[in-house]
Amino acid sequence: MTDLLERYFSFRGRLARLPFFIRCIYVNIAAMIPLVVGLALFTNGGRLWWWAGFAVVLISFAMLGVGLASAFVRRLHDLGLSGYHAIWIGAAEAVWTALTNAPLHAILMGLPLFAIDLWLTFWPGNAGANRFGDAPG
């Protein structure tokens, strides 16, 4: 269990391109399962069920946020950048997500924000060791 927590929720070390992409998918899937359970509890009826559903959804969003922040920070470490850059990347991600529900011209204006995701996913990391550790194997 500690290996699983270290793998998905640690902010230390580096994360290469393909493991970053796969880890983001896994974290999203893992967060969606309790989200669906929580939504089912919302619609069940009573006040107690509503609060139980709210708690499950809150836990799901916390798990999603920490898991994705961990992946972003570790990927930035692979690029040789500090994890503090995850703050503006997270803000750009939030704005891009909001713009995907907007009219077409707003989506087109948000494409540079989507380019940040492409950069994180496809830009090669440092070939050798950097200040955050050895190159991921």
- Residue 100, pLDDT > 90, answer no
Entry pTM = 0.85
Name the residue type at position 129.
A
Mean pLDDT on 97-110 = 86
pLDDT of residue 77: 95
Is pLDDT of 75 > 90? yes
100 vs 97: CA distance, rounded Å: 5
- Banded model confidence at residue 120, pLDDT cuts 50, 70, 90: very high
Confidence class for position 85, pLDDT limits 50, 70, 90: very high
Lowest mean pLDDT of 2-6, 77-81, 97-101, 110-114, name the range: 2-6
* Of 22-26, 40-44, 60-64, the least confident: 40-44
